[in-house]
Amino acid sequence: MSNTEIQISKFLSLVLRHKPETIGIQLNPNGWADVDDLLEKSNSYGMKFDKETLIHIVETNPKKRFAFNDGLDKIRAVQGHSIDIELGYTSQKPPEILYHGTGKKSVQSILDMGLERRSRQHVHLSSDIDTAVMVGRRHGEPFVFKVHAEEMYNDKFEFFLADNGVWLTETVPVQYLEKAQHGKVSEIENDVQDKNSFAWRELCAYVEKVAEEGADEFSPLEALGDEIFSQIYTLPETISKLKKVKKIWLYGSSLKRIPPEIGEMESLEYFDPYTSYDLHWFPYEITNCKKLKDSRVSTRALFGNYKFRMRFPSLEHNPVRYTGQTVKCSVCKKEISYEETNQLWISINVGTDVLPLLVNLCSKECEDRLPKPPQGYLPYPHKGGADLKQPSYEEWAKANERIYTNKELKKFRKEAKHKLYNVIQKIWDE
């Protein structure tokens, strides 16, 4: 690099990293400056160079200090960026709630890790839900998180309001996140599986094989491979033949539903559809698996989950249909038509989890025979829908507090005893 180029380079560091106001340019929240604006204002400031020189400097800079966007109309400093951007904004108190839009694909990792800035300088939040939905659309099917910003602020997290109205913060830990409910309730999808597909035929053949062999494990991912298994959205009714199967492995599946025939798998002890994020509900018939004691379900994906209370789709106008023209009453097993059945949602303890279950009912008598949901959940079977008000997480926590504190108390007493013993021992030793 020539001396002039080094000089320009130092100048660029100044305005793109430290003091954009020196020449009156603005950086966006990601640190980008408009190239034409930069050239014009640098020239009138007395630092004369053109776009060609700028490109040359960016390309030949040994430390790769600067970068262009793809269109070559924006430029930013690569290093020391986060600090400099913060300099442009002063920390301020955010509104009570902010929103973050993302693609549905990222939801689970966000629920696991919280919102992190990753390659960006900040987590971007908006004050209205529509903007968040729009941002989410850039990443495929949109998903919106509600961020309890004021609570974070009270817990000493810093917030910055960018010129474009975007709120910025370093990170949002998962406890401040909530799935936003924006009046949209998902709909029941009935035709989930292409039953002429190769994947489906392979799966059906595998079910037959497991049934014939009387095997005690059902693990389609292992048997069919990832590519085929990823095209499976439900299981065939023939799973009713899997009388010997004790364990079902459905880890990481694309499954959207499980047929009621699972209730006929009388040996089932362990059920593992973990990280099957499209599996939002189960058929009530699963409660017929009397040996089922252990399960591993991604509970955050479930309708009515205690923490996020994802809304139940309405069964009023859009009932669930299984295969066939008729359906069996989930309680007395009487065969009824879809016109006759009363479909309801109910949350019940299954295995290790509370699962949202779909019930088909032939009569009021059968409805009365349904078990009572655990505390902290809607205490009665219901039709779902946008207007349904579920108990809050706080109500759930309150309802489950006694059990929790008793357990904790025992643990604390044990620890306290142990500590006391250590203290006495120490005094004794001295």
Output the furthest CA–CA distance in the chain (Å, rounded).
91
Which of 98, 110, 211, 216 minimizes the C-alpha distance to 159? 98
Q: Answer yes or no whether residue 359 interacts with Zn ion by CB under 5 A.
A: no
Q: What distance in Å separates the CA atoms of residue 78 and residue 67, rounded to the nearest whole number?
A: 6
Q: Which is nearer to Zn ion, 248 or 320 (CB)?
A: 320
Task: Report the half-sphere exposure of 316 (CA within 13 A, side-chain side).
Answer: 10
Q: Answer yes or no whether residue 331 interacts with Zn ion by CB under 5 A.
A: yes
Q: Which is nearer to Zn ion, 118 or 364 (CB)?
A: 364
Please, which of residues 121-180 interact with Zn ion by CB under 5 A? none
Question: CB under 5 A: which stretch of 38-46, 308-316, 337-345, 358-366 binds Zn ion?
Answer: 358-366
**Dihedral of the alpha carbons of 127, 308, 113, 81, in degrees to the nearest 10:** 0
Q: What distance in Å separates the CA atoms of residue 109 and residue 102, rounded to the nearest whole number?
A: 11
Q: What distance in Å separates the CA atoms of residue 255 and residue 230, rounded to the nearest whole number?
A: 8
Taking the complex as a whole, how short is the minimal distance between the CB of residue 357 and Zn ion, in angstroms? 15
Please give the angle made by the CA atoms of 353, 359 and 360, to the nearest 5 degrees: 165
Question: CB under 5 A: which stretch of 101-109, 199-207, 233-241, 366-374 binds Zn ion?
Answer: 366-374
Q: Answer yes or no whether residue 329 interacts with Zn ion by CB under 5 A.
A: yes
Residues written for the chain: 430
Please give the angle made by the CA atoms of 329, 351 and 324, to the nearest 5 degrees: 30
**Which residue, chain included where needed, has tokens 């497991």?**
210
Q: Which is nearer to Zn ion, 246 or 334 (CB)?
A: 334
Taking the complex as a whole, how short is the minimal distance between the CB of residue 330 and Zn ion, in angstroms? 8
Taking the complex as a whole, how short is the minimal distance between the CB of residue 231 and Zn ion, in angstroms? 35
Q: What distance in Å separates the CA atoms of residue 81 and residue 166, rounded to the nearest whole number?
A: 18
Cα 306 to the chain's mean position, in Å? Answer: 14
Please, which of residues 278-317 interact with Zn ion by CB under 5 A? none
Please give the angle made by the CA atoms of 29, 34 and 37, to the nearest 5 degrees: 130
Taking the complex as a whole, how short is the minimal distance between the CB of residue 253 and Zn ion, in angstroms? 31
Question: CB under 5 A: which stretch of 118-126, 210-218, 363-371, 411-419 binds Zn ion?
Answer: 363-371
Q: Which is nearer to Zn ion, 72 or 332 (CB)?
A: 332
Instruction: List the structure tokens of 255.
Output: 């499954």
Tell me the β-bridge partners of 34. 74
Taking the complex as a whole, how short is the minimal distance between the CB of residue 212 and Zn ion, in angstroms? 33
The only residue of 72, 332, 386, 416 in contact with Zn ion, by rule CB under 5 A: 332
Interface with Zn ion: number of residues (CB under 5 A): 6
Taking the complex as a whole, how short is the minimal distance between the CB of residue 327 and Zn ion, in angstroms? 11
Instruction: List the structure tokens of 172.
Output: 């949002």
Taking the complex as a whole, how short is the minimal distance between the CB of residue 340 and Zn ion, in angstroms? 10
Strands, DSSP E only, in 37-86? 66-68, 74-77
Taking the complex as a whole, how short is the minimal distance between the CB of residue 234 and Zn ion, in angstroms? 24
Taking the complex as a whole, how short is the minimal distance between the CB of residue 382 and Zn ion, in angstroms? 18
Question: CB under 5 A: which stretch of 283-291, 303-311, 359-367, 412-420 binds Zn ion?
Answer: 359-367
Q: Which is nearer to Zn ion, 24 or 371 (CB)?
A: 371
Q: Answer yes or no whether residue 370 interacts with Zn ion by CB under 5 A.
A: no
Q: Three-state SS for 222?
A: helix
Exposure of 360 by Cβ count < 10 A (0-12 exposed, 13-18 middle, 19+ buried)?
A: buried
Taking the complex as a whole, how short is the minimal distance between the CB of residue 363 and Zn ion, in angstroms? 5
Q: Answer yes or no whether residue 366 interacts with Zn ion by CB under 5 A.
A: yes
Question: CB under 5 A: which stretch of 36-44, 73-81, 143-151, 330-338 binds Zn ion?
Answer: 330-338
Q: Which is nearer to Zn ion, 239 or 329 (CB)?
A: 329
Instruction: List the structure tokens of 187.
Output: 């709909």
The only residue of 223, 362, 370, 378 in contact with Zn ion, by rule CB under 5 A: 362
Instruction: List the structure tokens of 305.
Output: 């989950």
Q: Which is nearer to Zn ion, 315 or 366 (CB)?
A: 366
Residues that bind Zn ion (CB under 5 A): 329, 331-332, 334, 362, 366
